[in-house]
Chains A and B, each alone.
Chain A
Amino acid sequence: AQSVTQLDSQVPVFEEAPVELRCNYSSSVSVYLFWYVQYPNQGLQLLLKYLSGSTLVKGINGFEAEFNKSQTSFHLRKPSVHISDTAEYFCAVSVFDGGATNKLIFGTGTLLAVQP
């Protein structure tokens, strides 16, 4: 079975500072990896995804993530955060089962709190 661990429940950071949100997963098969962002009182929206190919993936709003198979990690980074990046960030893993439905397993989320 697959699982996702987000070790940090909350990450405070000052505006314009870099940030890294950590995500580790466990799976015995190949996976797809995602980061979703949830702004207050809104649904989740896709930030970026790793399906295959280059291990460094770029998403919206200047975020990027690197897939590290040996460390089973998919950490999210941004070199300089803005106040508007304050939100909950969810890491998720999916196993594609050959044409059936993809089920997403979500981590518990990390609240990124950007302070002026």
Chain B
Amino acid sequence: DAGVIQSPRHEVTEMGQEVTLRCKPISGHNSLFWYRQTMMRGLELLIYFNNNVPIDDSGMPEDRFSAKMPNASFSTLKIQPSEPRDSAVYFCASSLVRLAGDPIQYFGAGTRLSVL
């Protein structure tokens, strides 16, 4: 398997523009997580999905952020409008959750977002 695939790897945009980050989880995984990493705040969980359903979005900073998972193989994180303080590395991770399962999360390489 190719692992968790994120695109783009780098995104530079201007304040006020819409930004869409994409994630393809590992095939067969049923949970997907979006994280944000900054120097100031470290690694923060933004939202996670279980079987394509959002379970906990309490980490989403504000209404400018939204995430969708239309099917088991694709998810997006959208920021509209973007602001300079959104500059960070955004990671997607996936996991296979079972009753007696091995709860490892596998991370993508991340998208480095710069909002000018």
Contacts and interface: CB of A to CB of B under 8 A. Distances in A.
A94 B31 CA distance: 14
B110 A46 contact: no
Is chain B's interface secondary structure helix, strand, loop, or mixed overall?
strand
A102 interface: yes
Nearest to A107: B42
A21 B91 CA distance: 24
A42 interface: yes
A99 B49 CA distance: 13
A70 to B, nearest CB: 24
Interface residues of B, number: 26
Contacts of A67: none
A102 B42 contact: no
Interface stretch (B11-19, B62-70, B72-80, B94-102): B94-102
B42 A106 contact: yes
A43 B110 contact: yes
A43 B91 contact: yes
Contacts of A96: 103
Contact of B104 (A43, A49, A108): A49
Contacts of B98: 99
A43 B107 contact: yes
B116 interface: no
Contacts of A36: 107
Interface string B12-45: 0000000000000000000101000000001101
Contact of A102 (B31, B43, B49, B106): B31
A104 B97 contact: no
A78 B45 CA distance: 29
Q: Which of A34, A94, A102 has the most CB of B within 10 A?
A: A102
B72 to A, nearest CB: 14
A104 B44 CA distance: 10
Given A34-B104, A101-B50, A102-B95, 11 more contacts: A43-B4, A43-B107, A99-B97, A99-B98, A101-B55, A101-B95, A103-B33, A103-B56, A104-B33, A104-B45, A109-B42
